[in-house]
Chains A and B, each alone.
Chain A
Amino acid sequence: MGNRTFAYFLALSLFGEKGRHISTVLLSILIVFLLSSVLFISSSLHSVIENALREEPDLVVQRVEAGRLVNLPLKWEEEILSIRGVSKVTPRIWGRYFTGVKGKSFLVIAVDFLDENSHKTLEKLIGETELKTFLDGRHMIVGYAVMEWMKSHFYKEYYNFIGRDGEIKKMKISKVLPKEDNALFADTIIMGIESAREIFGISEDEATDLILDIPNDAERDFIADKISSLHYDIRTISKKESRAAYDRMFNFKGGFFLSLFCVVLLAFVLILYQRYSQVYSREKRQIGIFRALGWSMGDVLKLKFLETLSVVTGSYIIGVSIAYIYVYILGAPLLKNIFMGNGNLDMELILPPVLDFSALSSIFLLYALPFIAAVLIPVWRISVSDPKEAML
């Protein structure tokens, strides 16, 4: 079989009796839509993180006192640079700045404009080479979420930071990072290293942490071990560890959702089983006639199976398409909050469209396999209909 006559009959049984499949299709579309929305959001976030991690340093060295991150002395720089395999060590200054006791917080990152590397990253970030204005030290670049917060607090051109010493530091806003591509920088402020030192009260011979360049991947774990043994209060974070941390976070949320989804899926399966048993029991006589006219059990099985498969793939394509529009074009209102769940500033994350094999195959498996499994027995039951049925 598999010819045009068969296809014609497949179409007849799919579209012939209107409403026979419509409720199943609608329900399936809803299920696929829910599932794909969540998986699309998570794979999109994944790619955001992947991109951000590419810029991440190979190894970060920090100082921890009683489990709390503290500034480290710059003399560590020399010690670490002397380890073989480390090609470069760069000190960084950054910290969270809280706008008040119960206020919001910004991530303040300081950049050394004299340093070539950070210069390049920054250029890429704001897409502009005009950094000269920065060098006088009283300017900053802010993420769009920060800008929105400031506007709502009537700071349109500058913001007054209150430094460690209680003095007010007035910083001009020279640029806002565009929303697109910079989702992770929404609550970030970038400023010169001197201003940051003043605001956080970090002295000239200290830094928040050190970042290392280690050209050889294979040596990273070994070097990290070596650095850890230099001082009792040293902590190292490798690129891989931070990726694993992110992965874990999103997996946790995704995993939570999936467990919830299993309950929905179970209900779906039961409904399908019921519905198909009902529809097919009405068709028993018709199939009995088919059987009497020369259709074998295998023929009916094939017809019913392809009918199911058409419903499954049809709903799959429609559901995935709607989810694509919902997530990537409309920006996944409501659902996104579950994933972001960040009380700080209103992070309006733009999700870059990612349509990967992993998400698509996962959706298909998670939806189609239980679907077909649920209707397998009703399908079998109808296909072994007794041809004697036609004699009665």
Chain B
Amino acid sequence: MSYIIEIEDLQKHYDNSGERFHALRDIDMKVRRGECVILKGISGSGKTTLLGIMAGLDHPSSGKVVVDGEAIAKLPDRHLSRFRGKHIGMIFQHYNLIENFSVRENVMVPLVPMNLDFEEVERRVRESMEVANISHKASMSAGRLSGGEKQRTAIARALASDPEIILCDEPTANLDRANSERFVEILSKLHDMGKSIVIATHDPIFDHLPFEARVVHMEDGRVVEEGRES
């Protein structure tokens, strides 16, 4: 069985003014290739922190994090960044678009450091905008998009580098019902494409997905319970 994400004995604590706060404790978690995992838990339980560590955005305090065969817990910045750009598509809670860039330029951002031909870059941008259903707004500046469009731009951007792993942090927190459902549609498309997906959310819409998914409950920085849903 091949795992795309393997986390062993992961600890993460913050030291603020002499006090130690444990954001994550003794996390052991494995994600199979092509699997979809839903991280659930109340606010402050450590979901975002865990996603950040999986993406190599944040460093663990100790433990082992192996993503797609690469131990990313201790990697020099150059390799870590390259790894992140190539293997991980991130959809942030607040979308994190560059407001004064157009949709197309936003989608291009992760492709810049990859040293590709311009034609290849344009092809990838076009394709990922199609998958995310945002091609019609390609040259509109991101600041003027609606919430749903921003969300889809963020998805297109996450797909641009054709990563194996998609990480989403509260993807529907700022969307209405209709847009949330469209998101789930796109998500199932991604699932069919064989991407491994991890979603941190409290939105009940993810309780009934059109495809199989595993739910992982978190509490106080620990994984408390795992279950299966569809």
Contact = CB atoms under 8 A, between A and B. Distances in A.
Interface in B159-204: 161, 169
Which of A3, A286, A292 gathers most chain B CB within 10 Å? A292
A295 interface: yes
Interface in A338-392: 387-388, 390-391
A292 B157 contact: no
B110 interface: yes
Contacts of B157: 293
With most chain B CB atoms within 10 A of its CB, the pick from A16, A290, A387 is A387
A12 interface: yes
B126 interface: no
Interface residues of A, number: 26
Given A16-B100, A293-B90, A296-B78, A5 B118 contact: yes
B92 A1 contact: no
Interface in A1-46: 1, 3-6, 8-9, 12, 16-17
B85 A5 contact: no
Interface string B59-92: 0000000000000000001101110111000101
A292 B112 contact: no
Interface string B118-153: 100100000000000000000000000000000000
Interface residues of B, number: 36
A387 to B, nearest CB: 5
A9 B77 contact: no
B115 A1 contact: yes
Contacts of B117: 3-4
Interface of B: 48, 51-52, 55, 57-58, 77-78, 80-82, 84-86, 90, 92, 96, 98, 100-101, 105, 108-118, 121, 157, 161, 169
Given A5-B121, A391-B48, A294 B114 contact: yes
Contacts of A387: 57, 81, 84
Given A289-B96, A292-B84, A391-B92, A3 B57 contact: no
Given A292-B90, A391-B92, A297 B169 contact: no
B58 A391 contact: yes
Nearest to A299: B113
Contacts of A284: none
Contact of A296 (B77, B98, B108): B77
Given A4-B118, A294-B84, A296-B78, 9 more contacts: A3-B117, A12-B105, A16-B100, A292-B55, A292-B57, A293-B157, A294-B81, A294-B114, A299-B81
- Across the A-B interface, the 7 shortest Cβ-Cβ residue pairs: A294-B85, A296-B81, A4-B118, A293-B110, A299-B113, A387-B57, A296-B78
A390 B108 CA distance: 17
A47 to B, nearest CB: 47
A197 interface: no
Given A292-B96, A293-B90, A294-B114, A391 B52 contact: yes
Nearest to A12: B105
Given A4-B118, A388-B57, A391-B48, A295 B113 contact: yes
A298 interface: yes
Nearest to A2: B115
Contacts, number: 88
Contacts of A296: 77-78, 80-82, 113
A260 B51 CA distance: 57
19 contacts: A3-B116, A4-B118, A5-B118, A9-B108, A286-B98, A289-B98, A289-B109, A292-B55, A292-B96, A293-B85, A294-B114, A295-B109, A295-B112, A299-B113, A390-B57, A390-B90, A390-B92, A391-B51, A391-B92
A304 interface: no
Nearest to B55: A292
A291 interface: yes
Nearest to B119: A4
A388 B81 CA distance: 12
A391 B114 contact: no
A4 B122 CA distance: 11
Nearest to A384: B77
B81 A5 contact: no
A299 B114 CA distance: 10
Contacts of A17: 100
A6 B112 contact: yes
